[in-house]
Structure 1
Amino acid sequence: MVGILQDRTALVTGAASGIGLGIAQAFVREGARVIAVDISGSTLSAAFDGVDAVTQVELDVSLPDAPSQLVETARATFGGLDILMNNAGITGALAPIHETDDANWYKVMSVNMDPVFRITRDFVPLLKESKFARVINTASVCSKYAIPLVGVYTASKHAVLGLTKAFALDLGQYGITVNCIMPANVVTGITKDFYPDPESEYGKEFLSGVSLMGRYGRPEDMAGAVLYLASDAATYVTGTALAVDAGMMARMPSLPDVAGQAR
């Protein structure tokens, strides 16, 4: 059976683990050839060694020359690019926003916000050559709402949503769609320690406040939404933020401290 992305080319940042890994693997399953980019070469190797459809690139996307390196890699590997998936991101140090130092601010912005602008901008000439051009960004429910202790992350993800709309506005004339997903409560190897055990009493209360589905999200849940935005089914969709949050934002405020009031 032919996949929905058969013979398409894609580049995914933050592709070695978590949401990015789930997306890259889904792209491959659907027939795409993928450039998988991550700061950890060993994690990339563990994920993709032996996968012929994947070209591994160990790279820190916050570096000044990262966009030009990726453009040249895509040109040399594929001769162009169809799908750009800006996924790399970090949470940063947990602290109230007024106690956040400059180092944490600049670090989070250099990974979460700046590459979305710089990499997308530099890929526009290649994307304009594609008959099937997609830009998809990983935003967050924090693109719409603030959550305690992650103020810098929240600001960065608000920026990702704004950049998604700005690029969509300017690139539509070239047939390039630009959208983002807004994940919530996705448990990965990196984030699993942030979330309470779903079988504990506190975990059950927490889930009742943040998930209408009664469970945490998985990378494959995010990948399904991205596949839609990357497919022929979404040719008329641009400038959109797709919440993949198990209904978390449908009943805000719904954080654990007010979960009891919602019942």
Structure 2
Amino acid sequence: MNTRLALIIGATGTLGKAITKKLASQNIQLILASRNIDKLEKLYEQIINISILKPIIITLDLSHGRSIDKLGGKIFEKYKKLDILINCSSFYPKLSPIHHINPKEFSKLININISANWQIIRSFDPLLRLSKYGRAYFFICKRKTYNEPYFGSYVLSSNAIEALIKSWKKEIKKTNIIVSTYDPGPVDGALRNSAFPGENKNNVNTAELSAKHFINLLEKSYTSLT
């Protein structure tokens, strides 16, 4: 791929970091967004050893819609477009019966996993339209495991995001943008370990392998353009 501008939301998560490093090795200009500045700075130091392009790091709290709007405005002011949007951030309360989910955690789930994704679409759709070939990917969980009891919050989030993206995809079918949800499958990391403690690691992917599969998918979306 030619040098492009990519925004990775949730860049400091297990999978976000792996994807960031894969993109950095292709010398794509990166904007890395996460809530934790310390983790962002640590990731920045790793990326400058991989890429000739220094990444931009921005703290972003997805529970505050105005911060998403502000980020969109800043990107427009500096770059006038966005080529690649990747949202691999998420929040899930501990597995439990629906009636045991903490009300504050449920509200956080709605804000971060559903409302924030709508806000992201609202804020970055115009920037993706300004790209020659805009791409947007939203990570979800679709495995049958999550249709079992105690996974209600997982199913709610994934179904809501998928519904949003399906509608958006139809609305922009005559534009230059390609949007999709993406299920990376089970990925070894803190989120997975909290949901499945003691799980056999042979049954899950490493973040690096999942990132490689995703980057291959991203690259294939450009092949018909060459």
2:94 maps to 93
Q: Unmatched 5+ residue regions in structure 1?
A: 208-213, 238-263
How large is the RMSD of aligned CA atoms in angstroms?
Answer: 2.4
Q: Does 1:21 align with 2:17?
A: yes
- Judging changes above 3 Å, is the alpha-carbon distance between structure 1 residues 153 and 215 closer, same or farther for their aligned structure 2 residues? closer
- C-alpha displacement of 1:228: 3.1
Partners of 1:114 and 1:216 lie apart in 2 by: 29
Partners of 1:38 and 1:163 lie apart in 2 by: 22
* Residue aligned with 2:203, SS: coil
Question: Which deviations, in whole Å up to 9, do the C-alpha atoms of 1:125-176 show, x marking residues without a partner?
Answer: 1111111100100011259942432311220111111122111111121121
Say how many residue pairs are matched.
Answer: 219
1:9 maps to 5
Which range moved further: 89-98 or 9-18?
Answer: 89-98
1:177 maps to 178
CA contact (8 A) 1:142 1:158 kept: no
- C-alpha displacement of 1:23: 1.3
- Judging changes above 3 Å, is the alpha-carbon distance between structure 1 residues 216 and 74 closer, same or farther for their aligned structure 2 residues? same
- Judging changes above 3 Å, is the alpha-carbon distance between structure 1 residues 144 and 112 closer, same or farther for their aligned structure 2 residues? farther
* Residue aligned with 2:173, SS: helix
2:213 maps to 225
- Judging changes above 3 Å, is the alpha-carbon distance between structure 1 residues 236 and 95 closer, same or farther for their aligned structure 2 residues? farther
* Residue aligned with 1:91, SS: coil
Which of these two proteins has the greater Rg computed from alpha carbons? 1
1:1-263 equivalent positions in 2, closer than 5 A: 4=1, 6-49=2-45, 51=48, 52-141=53-142, 145-197=146-198, 203=200, 214-231=202-219, 233-235=220-222
CA contact (8 A) 1:9 1:33 kept: yes
Q: TM-score, normalised by structure 1?
A: 0.75
Partners of 2:5 and 2:178 lie apart in 1 by: 15
Identity of aligned residues (%): 22
1:260 maps to none
Question: Which deviations, in whole Å up to 9, do the C-alpha atoms of 1:109-138 show, x marking residues without a partner?
Answer: 111111211111221111111111001000
AA of the residue aligned to 1:234: S
Which range moved further: 33-42 or 48-57?
Answer: 48-57
- Judging changes above 3 Å, is the alpha-carbon distance between structure 1 residues 143 and 27 closer, same or farther for their aligned structure 2 residues? farther
* Residue aligned with 1:228, SS: helix
Partners of 2:19 and 2:70 lie apart in 1 by: 22
- C-alpha displacement of 1:104: 2.2
CA contact (8 A) 2:94 2:194 kept: no
* Residue aligned with 1:53, SS: coil
- C-alpha displacement of 1:88: 1.2
CA contact (8 A) 2:16 2:88 kept: yes
Question: Which deviations, in whole Å up to 9, do the C-alpha atoms of 1:64-95 show, x marking residues without a partner?
Answer: 20221221232234331101111110121321
* Residue aligned with 1:175, SS: coil
* Residue aligned with 1:15, SS: coil
Partners of 1:174 and 1:73 lie apart in 2 by: 23
- C-alpha displacement of 1:102: 3.0
- Judging changes above 3 Å, is the alpha-carbon distance between structure 1 residues 235 and 86 closer, same or farther for their aligned structure 2 residues? same
Q: TM-score, normalised by structure 2?
A: 0.86
